Chains A and B, each alone.
Chain A
Amino acid sequence: MSRGVLVDTTLCTGCRGCQVACKQQNKLPPEETTFFAKAGGYQNPADLSARTYSLVTFNEVENKNGHFDWVFARRQCMHCEEPSCVSACLVGALSKTESGAVVYDETKCIGCRYCLLSCPFGVPSFEWEKTVPFVRKCTFCFTRQAGGDAPATVNGKALDSEQRARHKETQTKPACTKACHTGALMFGEREELLVEARNRIRKNPKRYVNHIYGEKEAGGTSWLYLAGVSFKKLGFPMHLGERSFPSYAKAAKDGVPHVMLGVGAMLGGFYWYNQRCAEVAKKGE
């Protein structure tokens, strides 16, 4: 089963706890930033980068009364169901694990940046300033997710089974979802999250727009979003369609052996024909 996160932007308070947790988890160096450097105001830093894998976005959205509301959303790797970046990579440095995470192996990467080009959500970043640069992006904390059972004792105290279960749950969920204190980030099986999202919309049709972002976009993503306003206003790409991008590439790639046969047959045929013509012409002389 493949896991995902349901981001309920209507619950997000913009505290950026998840953003900080992500920095800590991945031991990312700080970035020099300024408020209002770009449109977005308090959004800080302005964009994802090789030092910022996840980012709370600050969106000013006009409400019914003609005033502006802050609506917070979140950007990180969407861990696509059929990731363009994985299809792109020519050395297999990127791969989709069974648990849903799209992970990167820097020991293979050659730094061609095709993954950056192909990502529909503009996620992977490159360490441009380094002389030996790698690609950086959210890992879905796949090392945490792979974590084992809780230890028998913590600080010398034995844990009962309920404590052990809770320990395991908190230690194996992605750092951002652990940090979130409002329930805006919910970690779980993607299928269950979809059911949950539909339930929330059904129970509260006034609170939500009827759109689960990530359910179908570009073939679907592991991360799913709910919002009270159109996702367009939150800066999400709206023109991706439902077909996964790698399916175009796959069609082209599957054609390779057929092209090898077809072109070969055509060339061979023409060659043979021309040679025969030449021979016949010679005999006729």
Chain B
Amino acid sequence: MTFQRIDRKIVTGPTVLLALLMLVGLGAVVMRMMNGLGATTNMSDVWPWGLWKSFNVMTLIALGAGGFSSAALIYIFGGEKYHGFARSAVLWGLMAYAFAGGSLMVDIGIPWRIVNPIWMWPEHSLLFEVAWCVMFYLTVLALELAPALFERFNLKGLESAWKALVPIYCIIGLSFFAYIMTHSLIWAVVILAFYGIVAAVLSRAGRKQSTPILLVMFGIVLSSLHQSTLGSLFLLVPDKLSHFWWSPRLPFNFLMSAVIIGLSVIVLERTIAPKVFGVPRQDELLAKLSRFIGSFLWLYLIFRILDVVVEGFSLAGTGHLTVAFGGPEKATMFVSEMFLGIAVPAVLLSIRACRNHVGARTFAVMLVIAGGIFNRLAVCFIGMNLPGEYVPSMIEILVTVGTVATMLLLFTLGAKLLPIYESRRDV
């Protein structure tokens, strides 16, 4: 598989528009920095997490899950045929994670202290785990993208150094991560030994891969952890989050939906890319990938419904059923999410004719993505049973719009500067 950059003009109408939106977003960030959170957002002591946490952080990270899901598919589960999707998924993931981190700096009260978790280690905190996972995963994404740079600038020396050092970095990284999460040297040694053995065994198994398999594994381990832990964060609010969304199984729901959303984003991206970049259309592959998504959706749907049923039974005796689930509007939202965001696309993607039809397929994955976004917003604020209400302020919305615009802009730039998309003759 060879990749090439998109040889097109960098400045075009749409990129100018994106750049303008980026500037608007930047302006909003400046306003927020100068005037403080109270003056520029609608968050409050009762609604301490708003649009930025829910969309810019939680949703973006779910949207960026395609990086690890596709890596798992391609390198681990033998989906070689999707290899062409790898780099664009990683580039998109890099954007998503970088901007999730960047947005967090806007959201937290004291932006320059975002580095504090690097040297303050309360091993019991779930948010601490997320922080470290995301930091590490950003380095993984960057390392996964590095070959594109090596190719582009012909850095043969660096490339062999990368090949040699990356596995070591992964093993040490995993072991260090285990240590700070548990504060236990034993765990650190166990993980070190385990991945050392894995590396030794796998290095003998079969052909050479373009990406060191340990890097892929590191990325998947980190992603499984933080995608699920973003859900676990809300295990601390069983009293506030409606039990249509809250359950002790929240981490599984998050992991499953992250995989589904991530793969759907790849399908969407691969549908749009031929139009804007002129890369070859790959309808057959997309139909196959959509079939996966369809099956996952069924699983996810069953899991979510069972989840709520179990929650209902376990609460039945306590007399707090209505308090826990919230009013009819919560029920309506839940049913809509299940129906429009999961069931309808599941049906569509299970029908061969729909999968093969660009319009129907794209419609289905867009429903999945919309449902996924709603799910993250619901868990973070819409689904909360709290007094009053929170509606994001203009500044909050502008920052979010600016963030998305900047991500798209940089992604486009990346695709035009680096070999991200597969060459035409390879398809």
Enumerate chain A interface residues (CB-CB to B < 8 A).
47-49, 84, 86-92, 108-114, 116-118, 120, 122, 124-134, 218, 237-241, 245-246, 248-253, 256-257, 259-261, 263-265, 267-268, 270-272, 274-279
Contacts and interface: CB of A to CB of B under 8 A. Distances in A.
Interface string B238-267: 111000000010010000000000000000
Contact of A92 (B78, B120, B190): B120
A118 B182 CA distance: 22
Most B-side CB within 10 Å, residue of A131, A218, A259, A267? A267
Interface stretch (B89-97, B111-119, B400-408): B111-119
B202 A268 contact: yes
B121 interface: yes
Interface residue SS majority, chain B: helix
Contact of B221 (A87, A264, A275, A279): A264
Nearest to B126: A249
Nearest to B182: A257
Given A112-B109, A117-B48, 10 more contacts: A91-B116, A114-B49, A117-B236, A245-B237, A249-B124, A253-B129, A261-B191, A265-B194, A267-B72, A272-B202
Given A131-B35, A260-B178, A271 B120 contact: no
Interface stretch (B16-24, B39-47, B153-161, B287-295): B39-47
A1 B248 CA distance: 32
A263 B220 contact: yes
A270 B76 contact: yes
Given A239-B324, A250-B124, A110 B201 contact: no
Interface residues of B, number: 78
Given A49-B45, A112-B108, A129 B38 contact: yes
A110 B124 contact: no
Contacts of A134: 109
B110 interface: yes
Interface of B: 33-39, 43-46, 48-49, 72, 75-78, 104, 107-110, 113-114, 116-117, 120-131, 174, 177-178, 181-182, 187, 190-191, 194-195, 198, 201-202, 205-207, 213, 216-217, 220-221, 224-225, 228-229, 232-233, 235-240, 248, 251, 318, 320, 323-324
Contacts of A47: 45
B114 A239 contact: no
Contact of A276 (B77, B125, B205): B205
